A and B are shown apart, each in its own frame.
Chain A
């Protein structure tokens, strides 16, 4: 083997890392650029405000999918937020250092790695079949709660743990109860982290497809109640791609999804920066 000089070796390595960096960014920019370039021209007010008709050529727009997505997110969050934050408070503030606590923490970690479709299978068995919710937004939302719970618990617990112990002690020394300390001192300080976690969960709900595909059914009709079936935007992309010839509409729906994720991501950034600035004082 030829022994390369360290200088030359470094040049080769630099070439490789630059190439890796550029290729990665290029691939991803091209994918997003492609979807936006092909999809955005298809989007119109009419596209957004008419429901899909379910035919082979994918007539209609995405209105009922937008509605189903919003319903799903609203219900999921209404259950997920109290449950996730409550569990995080328990783990960070109350849980004794016991075997059982370690077991809970370990389950949270394990759950976070379980694939979405397995949650879907569970949701199908429990919510769709056993609880007779059939294919519905409610069944989808409950499944999604199970899927997102570990993530929210972890990020909220992390945020709570970063609140300095001195703040807790100050509040307790002033005669606050444990719960008052949590509500008035710990939660306000942990809020930026918790809100970031919540918004990321909203993003996850928007992007999720597998576990909803098997719990919400694929009805393209406008949902009328929590027990209606429905398709979210992401599931709609799948249906359009697999069952119709309307690839342009699939791309348009994909573009809508990308824009939504953009907005969610930017608002997370903006909000956490603002709250952080507010927390760290100034006048």
Chain B
């Protein structure tokens, strides 16, 4: 299995606060990688460095490199918009635009210049089918995305991310505001999607990491403490801190 993303000695500062310390990590293609750790450990910050979402934060500073298929996405000649086209993202709170379901899904393709109506219709159907929302909304594509339930909204956001045909999908605690049934639905979806995409998910829920991921990385105080196959991390952690965390001794 090839590493799809590699980070090298990644440091990240918000002003004077260091949020990431020398994080080096290989993320494998067509796998689900879960990042776990207590609140404030840097796992979300790390995730957001992978599509340069932290660029919008004032006074933030990054050192080190992130390679996407061997290409450093922080190299000066790289266009951030091109990076984000290849790396989709799903956020903690479902954040559909206050537009119709249809408009939400085609937002990305339209920004990229795709305007042909039949093509767009195809994109909408394909993306909504992939996110498992099609059957629930196919007769109501003109309805506002805001009018859906929380779980449906999150799947709409996934469909919206899929519509730009990314290679990687980043998920930042995508289930933290959802009920258990919706959560399960998203976890199943990740399994369906990993055949085609590489998925990185941040979660504070260890059961979710154990259930849904192939690889797990444990973050603590901005450092990546341990990284390996999920089954090993949860059954035979090498580091004492990892063990303490997954057995619930802190966090």
A–B: direct contact at CB < 8 Å: yes
Is A96 a contact partner of B58 (Cβ separation < 8 A)?
yes
Q: Does B234 contact A (CB under 8 A)?
A: no
Is there a chain B Cβ closer than 8 Å to A280's Cβ? yes
* Interface contact B91-A170, CB-CB below 8 Å: yes
* Interface-side segment among A127-135, A174-182, A210-218: A174-182
Residues of A within 8 A of B93 (CB): 166
**Number of chain A residues whose Cβ lies closer than 8 Å to a Cβ of chain B:** 25
Known contacts A97-B59, A279-B98; A171/B142 CB under 8 A: no
Contact B91 A189 (CB under 8 A): no
Note all chain A residues with C-beta closer than 8 A to B85: 175
CB distance B146 to A97 under 8 Å?
A: no
Chain B, Cβ-Cβ closest to A180 = B111
Residues of B within 8 Å of A175, CB to CB, are: 81-82, 84-85, 108, 111-112, 164
Task: Mark A267-283 against chain B: 1 for CB-CB distance below 8 A, else 0.
Answer: 00000000000011111
Q: A166-B95, A167-B95, A180-B111 are in contact. Are A173 and B143 (CB under 8 A)?
A: no
B107 at the interface (CB under 8 A from A): yes
Residues 155-196 of chain A, each 1 if its beta carbon lies under 8 Å from chain B, else 0: 000000000101111111111110010001100110000000
Q: Which residues of A contact B140 (CB under 8 A)?
A: 283
* Residues in chain A near residue B89, CB distance under 8 A: 169, 173
- A169 and B91 contact, Cβ closer than 8 Å, known pairs A174-B84, A174-B107, A185-B97: yes
Output the residue of A96, A168, A176, A177 with the most chain B CB within 10 A.
A176
Chain B residues near A177: list those with CB within 8 A: 81, 111
A184 adjacent to B53 (CB under 8 Å): no
Contact A282 B95, beta carbon cutoff 8 Å? no
Do residues A170 and B95 form an inter-chain contact, with CB atoms below 8 A? yes
Cβ B161 vs Cβ A174 within 8 A:
yes
**In the complex, A174→B145 CA distance in Å?**
16
Q: Is the CB of A169 within 8 A of B164?
A: no
Which chain B residues in 68-86 approach chain A with CB under 8 Å?
Answer: 81-82, 84-85
| Residues A97 and B56 in contact in the complex (CB < 8 Å), given A173-B89, A280-B146 | no
**Would you give the shortest CB distance from B171 to chain A, in whole angstroms?**
11
Interface of A: prevailing SS: helix
**Do A184 and B111 touch (CB < 8 A)?**
yes
Q: Which of A164, A167, A174 contacts B108 (CB 8 A)?
A: A174
> Are B142 and A283 touching (Cβ within 8 A)?
yes
Contact A283 B143 (CB under 8 A): yes
A176 near B108 with CB under 8 A, answer yes
Per-position 1/0 for B127-163, Cβ under 8 A of A: 0000000000000101111110000000001001101
Q: Which residues of B contact A279 (CB under 8 A)?
A: 98
Q: Tally chain B residues at the interface, Cβ within 8 Å.
A: 34
The answer to whether A281 touches B144 (Cβ under 8 A) is yes
Chain A nearest Cβ from B130, distance in angstroms: 16
**Residue B217 is within 8 A (CB to CB) of chain A in the complex:** no
Which chain A residue shows the least CB distance to B99?
Answer: A188
Chain B residue, CB-CB nearest to A173: B89
Interface flags, A138-163, vs B, CB<8A=1, else 0: 00000000000000000000000000
Q: Are B144 and A282 in contact (CB under 8 A)?
A: yes
Rounded to whole angstroms, the CA-CA distance of A180 and B95 in the bound complex is: 17
Q: Please give, as numbers and ranges, the residues of chain A lying within 8 Å of B98 by CB-CB distance.
A: 188-189, 279-281
CA distance A189 to B140 in the complex (A): 22
Bound CA span A282–B144, Å = 6
Minimal beta-carbon separation of A146 from chain B (angstroms): 30
Q: Which residues of B sit under 8 angstroms from A174, Cβ to Cβ?
A: 84, 88, 107-108, 111, 160-161, 163-164
Residues of A within 8 A of B203 (CB): none
Counting CB contacts under 8 A, is B230 at the interface? no
> Which chain A residue shows the least CB distance to B87?
A173
Residues of chain B within 8 A (CB-CB) of A173 are 51, 53, 84, 88-89, 91, 161
| A132, B96: Cα distance in complex, Å | 53
A167–chain B nearest beta-carbon distance, Å = 6
Taking CB atoms, residues of chain A closer than 8 Å to B81 are 175-177
Nearest A residue to B140 by beta-carbon distance?
A283
In Å, the complex CA distance between A175 and B52 comes to 11
A-B contacts besides A170-B95, A173-B51, 17 pairs, CB < 8 Å: A166-B93, A169-B53, A170-B160, A171-B107, A171-B111, A172-B53, A172-B56, A173-B88, A174-B88, A175-B164, A176-B81, A176-B108, A189-B98, A279-B98, A281-B145, A283-B143, A283-B147
Q: List 6 A-B contacts (CB under 8 A).
A: A97-B59, A170-B160, A173-B84, A174-B84, A174-B161, A188-B98
Residues on B facing A (Cβ under 8 Å): 51, 53, 56, 58-59, 81-82, 84-85, 88-89, 91, 93, 95-99, 107-108, 111-112, 140, 142-147, 157, 160-161, 163-164
8 shortest interchain CB distances as A-B pairs: A281-B146, A174-B108, A281-B144, A166-B95, A173-B89, A175-B85, A176-B111, A281-B147
